[in-house]
Structure 1
């Protein structure tokens, strides 16, 4: 069957529409097709750009910062040598409380009614000292007595009458009777005095007989004169014996009544005895009366520190306390830095007690404001010198610099030679 004119027009319109639709689809599909080169270009990372920061002018300060534990300086265990006692070492009084202060030349404890007096010294009390004793312990005692104002006479390491006199003054100042010699030594003095008295009487009799012989005009006085000389020698011997007996009966220093501590005053940290109990071994532990903070640092930091350097402690409430380094002690690969605070108020002392606090120790600082750049901006040149990369007018330039103090990630720099660098410049710190 043959289509009419109207049907042919309808077919042509449909074909044209189909062609147009196909063309549109092709155009859209073509637009979405990407070549490998185009795809690679679109997925490649963006071109690197420089990261710059401005050169700054400011003051730098290098410091050591750490955290340290507060404690009372120099803990020691205090022992009383009670082996010389003839009775049990019963504690009868003067038991200190924790936190109290041990003061030199004062009794820190009472045992069997007698004081245990604290003195500063490095040698322990290991024997009872009596007149005639000699040695380094006696020399230490004499030096200590002399330092405290109790004159021991010759400071020669020999316990003599002058030493005994100074010991009596020490006990009197502490509020106690001085120790007494054994009764047999006192009895020996009494006996020596009787011998001296007898020798004096014998001499008087010999002298009287000589006088009578002279009065009678006896032709030979040899016997009478010999008797007087013999009596004089006997009296001198008796006097020497009395002096020796009296020296031996001078004030002794019992081993149980003195305790030497390396330095005083100190704070009582722990008490191991009570009144009525028996003293044995360590009777108490004590530390220095001064509170300190100990912070650990590595060897590289310790190289910049020394005794007497200023420091700062930051308390829990944010307030600060000025301090100074007291000493540095090597502990293996690290160092203990002991920092002593300046005068503390009662509130500050309470805040620091057993606390862990921030410690800041300034090491170096610039003299006012100087040109600085981040440490990341520094690089090494072929000659081994330092340099920074400066961006000026869109171009980069390597500027040689001399590096000074570094602190907090910044370095003080000075351009060298004819190079220029100022606050208007931008330095490259990354790309």
Structure 2
């Protein structure tokens, strides 16, 4: 360990340390003229590049190191160690103003966010045909493949599964993804005699007529626009936008639905996007205080209006419950506010110090000031994960229990 106190009892500065991340340098950052202890120069002047020490002129590369450390720490102010020697809390020269020990612990990069427990995003269904609403479901009702979502003039509007919305009348000769979706649904519902190849043949039309007969509608062999609603799966009616007996026009809202699976929707700031990766683990705290496991299902960037002049960009994250036990626990709270903890990375049993203990080294990289009774030395370190105001460090001369300097 290198003693930073020269012969004769006077103090000297470390030749390899340039800046320390700390708030105590705010005076220099703000252009203050704090005296550095007998040199007759301010910290601000020293940071400009030159300092006089005992008649010897030393050139510092403080500006570059200052910029690097400021970016790494996210701090607005840093302290130049190139000034006069710091005073210890006991008043000794050459020692940092305060110290702390290097600890060995698990370091986790995580964020907590408020979330809403519900059934995921809401989708609105509009009427594609004009007529009178003769039947509507109740809010909260679950509706699956082949079942009636609502009725117009007593004709059922049927739920079928698929990712592509219905947009046209389907009849013999039609080809495309929507035809394949229809054929796959007919097959899942038990109708046979055709191939689900995306081509609407007479065999497809025959199966459609059988389906129409079972649904109690006119057997035309064609599927009119508005008689089928394609959804990603079974749905839960979230709210009604009209009442039975209402006359609707094409495009008029009828109801809103969600999925049937309970989900948590939470928002993160854009700078925390790294925490939200599809398939990532999330810890969800339910209203009763119980914590259960979750899994990220979907991540999307959304814009929220803040005012008439400004919008706010957020990262919207949809989280599912991981396992039957978690699902049963969540089922007790159909709609509720929850807390969601997102974890980007965990480093187990690593050495850590407060971020403020880091100093930028003159030759590049970072170091810490290791204190040993009445002396100290600057030791270079490799940095790892930054989280919760601490940073992972490693290097020769650094071990659990080592004492390092920090700003007071």
- TM bucket normalised to smaller: 0.5 to 0.7
Query: Shift of residue 312 of structure 1?
Result: 0.9
Provide the rounded CA distance (Å) in 1 between the counterparts of 2:155 and 2:291. Answer: 46
Q: Which residue of 2 aligns with 1:252?
A: 222
Alignment deviations for residues 232-285 of structure 1 (CA, whole Å, 9 cap, x no partner):
xxxxxxxxxxxxxxxxxxx33343432223x12111111134344434422111
Find the counterpart in structure 1 of residue 274 from structure 2: 303
**Aligned equivalents of 1:388, 1:119: Cα separation in 2:** 64
Instruction: Provide the C-alpha distance between the structure 2 equivalents of 1:147 and 1:384, rounded to a whole number of angstroms.
Output: 66
Which one has a bigger Cα radius of gyration? Answer: 1
Say which of 73, 83, 86 aligns to 2:120. Answer: 73
Tell me which residue corresponds to 1:411. Answer: 391
The 1:347/1:327 distance shift into structure 2, 3 A limit, reads closer
Give the TM-score of the pair, scaled to structure 2.
0.66
CA displacement 1:400-422 (0-9 Å, x = unmatched): 2111222222222111xxx3122
**Which residue of 296, 313, 320 maps to 2:284?**
313
Structure whose residues are more often helix by fraction: 1
Distance 1:256 1:411 in 2: 59
CA 426–328 in structure 1, closer or farther in 2 if over 3 Å, else same? same
What is the aligned partner in structure 2 of residue 159 from structure 1?
Answer: 200
Greater per-residue strand proportion: 2
Once the 2 structures are TM-superposed, how far is the Cα of residue 337 of structure 1 from its aligned partner? 2.0
Q: Is the 8 A contact 1:146 1:152 kept in 2?
A: no
- Spell out, residue by residue over 1:342-383, the C-alpha distance to the aligned partner (whole angstroms, 9 max, x if none): 344566234361x3322111221123x222211111111111
SS in 1 for 2:145: coil
CA 1:302–1:159 in 2, change beyond 3 Å: closer, same or farther? same
Q: What is the distance in 2 between the residues matched to 1:252 and 1:421?
A: 77
Partner of 1:271: 240
- Distance, in Å, in 2 between the alignment partners of 1:264 and 1:133 is 28
1:397 aligns with 2:394: no
Q: Post-superposition shift, 1:323?
A: 0.5
1:134 aligned residue: 174
Aligned 8 A contact 1:64 1:361 in 2: yes
SS in structure 2 of the partner of residue 366 of structure 1: strand
After superposition, the Cα gap between the structure-2 partners of 1:257 and 1:176, relative to the gap in structure 1 and judged at 3 Å, is: same
- Contact 1:79–1:259 (Cα < 8 Å) also in 2: no
1:168-187 correspondence runs (5 A): 168-171=209-212, 176-181=215-220
Partner of 1:61: 108
Flag structure 1 segments of 5+ consecutive residues without an equivalent.
1-45, 84-88, 182-250
Residues 1-400 of structure 1 aligned to structure 2 (within 5 Å): 49=89, 50-83=97-130, 89-93=131-135, 95-130=136-171, 132-136=172-176, 137-151=178-192, 153-171=194-212, 176-181=215-220, 251-261=221-231, 263-280=232-249, 281-331=252-302, 333-342=313-322, 343=324, 344-345=326-327, 348-351=330-333, 353=335, 355-367=336-348, 369-400=349-380
Give the C-alpha shift of residue 311 in structure 1.
0.4
Query: How far apart are the structure 2 equivalents of 1:423 and 1:138?
Result: 67
Q: What's the secondary structure of 2:139's corresponding residue?
A: coil
For residues 244 and 269 of structure 2, what CA distance do their matches in structure 1 show?
A: 47
Tell me the SS of whatever aligns to 1:356: strand
Work out the CA distance in 2 between the residues paired with 1:73 and 1:345.
15
SS at match of 2:215: coil
State whether residues 134 and 153 of structure 2, in contact with CA within 8 Å, keep that contact through their aligned partners in structure 1. yes
SS at match of 1:67: strand
Instruction: Give structure 2 stretches of 5+ with no counterpart.
Output: 1-85, 90-96, 304-312
Structure 2 counterpart of 1:421, from 384, 393, 398: 398
Secondary structure of the structure 1 residue equivalent to 2:140 = coil
In 1, Cα distance between equivalents of 2:377 and 2:224: 85
Distance 1:346 1:75, change over 3 A: same
RMSD of Structure 2 on Structure 1 (CA): 2.7
